[in-house]
């Protein structure tokens, strides 16, 4: 076969281009779906206000791992998971990513249950800027002039909101740092969405189980003692946690991190009306 005959045809090139566009579009849709869902999640955590944030966090890891194991079995992807788990690089990135997302989950649950939903919204306004910063520093991504102007305007808007908040928004800052770091580690791990999330959660499940056993023996465990409705809500944290995380993991793969900005801001906007309603109800 000659070199010329081995060259791709225009049609094959067009097919790859169309495939790339479809992959990119699916990433954008996944990002919007993820942050729409996440924007509504504070309502769910409000239903668990009677449960300490630490217990909710432990349940999230346990039930998310169980839910993901069912999904992996249904999709017959255990061989893929084992291949990923054998990689030392993947294990390290998934462990550090798990710690980052655990910190983010705890802060978010705590903030919602103490009535600081507006500050969580501010944190997710900051997160796109953190994504862009991490992308530029660690992934060597470069912004066009138009993109830089858009990021600058977003940064000015975030600064205006921050100064208008009236106090240092430490929860917002920690939320944006931990989730920005999680996104970076997820991208660097090289694992697919579901297997990667399973590795992240199962590495921390032993600590969650030990903590729940401690709560049970000390008589402080809410699960199973505060009525069946709360117990069902705690079990459902696996589904509530895993499904939104599938989407950003899929969205991060095909798209540069600076294009994550619009979907993150959309998520932050979704939180604001509920925060206002909560404040009005409190008054």
**Residue 12 predicted with pLDDT over 60:** no
Q: Is 163 exposed, middle or buried (0-12, 13-18, 19+ CB in 10 A)?
A: exposed
Residues 60, 61, 62, 68, Cα dihedral to 10° = 100
d(C-alpha 28, C-alpha 166), whole Å? 34
Alpha carbons 82 and 60: distance in angstroms, whole number: 23
Q: What is the number of structural domains in the chain? A: 1
Residue 268 pLDDT grade (very low, low, confident, very high; cuts 50, 70, 90): low
In a domain, 22, yes or no: no
Q: Radius of gyration (Cα) for the chain, nearest Å?
A: 21
Mean pLDDT value across the chain: 79
45: in domain? yes
Of 160, 167, 101, which Cα lies nearest the Cα of 125? 160
Q: What is the pLDDT of residues 131-152, one digit of tens each?
A: 888 888 888 888 888 888 888 8
Residue 97 covered by a domain? yes
Let me know if residue 138 belongs to a domain.
Answer: yes
91 lies in some domain: yes
| Cα 115 from chain centre | 21
At 250 the pLDDT is 58
Predicted local distance difference test score (pLDDT) of residue 91: 92
- Sign of the dihedral defined by the CA atoms of residues 125, 130, 131, 136, in that order: positive
Domain that holds residue 58: 27-282
- Residues 113/231, Cβ–Cβ less than 8 Å: no
Minimum mean pLDDT among 59-73, 80-94, 238-252, 258-272: which range? 258-272
pLDDT(63) > 90: yes
- Higher-confidence position of 10 and 28: 28
State the virtual CA torsion across 216, 218, 219, 222 in degrees, nearest 10: -50
The CB density around residue 15, as the number of other CB atoms within 10 Å, is 12
Kindly state the average pLDDT of the residues 76-96: 92
Residue 30 predicted with pLDDT over 80: no
Determine what percent of the chain is predicted with pLDDT higher than 70. 74
**Residue 17, domain member (yes or no):** no
The alpha carbon dihedral of 103, 104, 106, 107 has a sign of: positive
Reported confidence tier of residue 92, pLDDT bands at 50, 70, 90: very high
Q: What is the structure's pLDDT at 60?
A: 94
Provide the pLDDT confidence category of residue 189 given band limits of 50, 70 and 90.
confident
Using CA atoms, how far apart are residues 102 and 59, in angstroms rounded to an integer? 12
Biggest CA–CA distance in the chain, Å, is 79
Give the separation between CA 99 and CA 108, rounded to whole angstroms: 14
**What pLDDT is stored for residue 18 in this prediction?**
60
- Domain annotation covers residue 83: yes
């Amino acid at each position: 076969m000659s070199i010329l005959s081995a060259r791709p045809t225009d049609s094959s090139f067009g097919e790859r281009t169309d495939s790339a566009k479809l992959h990119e579009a699916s990433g954008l849709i996944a990002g919007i779906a993820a942050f729409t869902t996440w924007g509504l999640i504070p309502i769910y955590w409000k239903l668990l206000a009677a449960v300490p944030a630490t217990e909710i966090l432990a349940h999230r890891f346990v039930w998310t791992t169980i839910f993901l194991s069912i999904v992996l079995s249904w999709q017959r992807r255990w061989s893929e998971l084992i291949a990923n788990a054998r990689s030392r690089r993947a294990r390290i990135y998934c462990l550090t990513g798990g710690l980052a997302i655990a910190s983010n989950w705890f802060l978010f649950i705590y903030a919602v249950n103490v009535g600081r939903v507006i500050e969580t919204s501010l944190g997710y306004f900051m997160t796109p800027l953190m994504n862009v910063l991490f992308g530029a520093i660690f992934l060597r991504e470069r912004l066009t002039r138009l993109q830089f102007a858009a990021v600058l305007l977003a940064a000015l808007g975030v600064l205006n909101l921050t100064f208008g908040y009236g106090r240092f928004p430490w929860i917002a800052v920690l939320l944006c740092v931990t989730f920005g770091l999680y996104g970076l580690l997820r991208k660097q791990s090289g694992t697919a969405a579901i297997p990667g999330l399973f590795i992240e959660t199962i590495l921390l499940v032993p600590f969650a189980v030990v903590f729940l056993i401690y709560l049970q023996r000390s008589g402080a465990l809410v699960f199973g003692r505060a009525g069946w409705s709360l117990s069902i809500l705690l079990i459902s944290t696996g589904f509530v946690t895993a499904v939104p995380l599938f989407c950003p993991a899929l969205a991060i793969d095909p798209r540069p991190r600076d294009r994550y900005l619009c979907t993150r801001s959309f998520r932050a906007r979704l939180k604001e009306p509920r925060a206002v309603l909560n404040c009005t109800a409190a008054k």
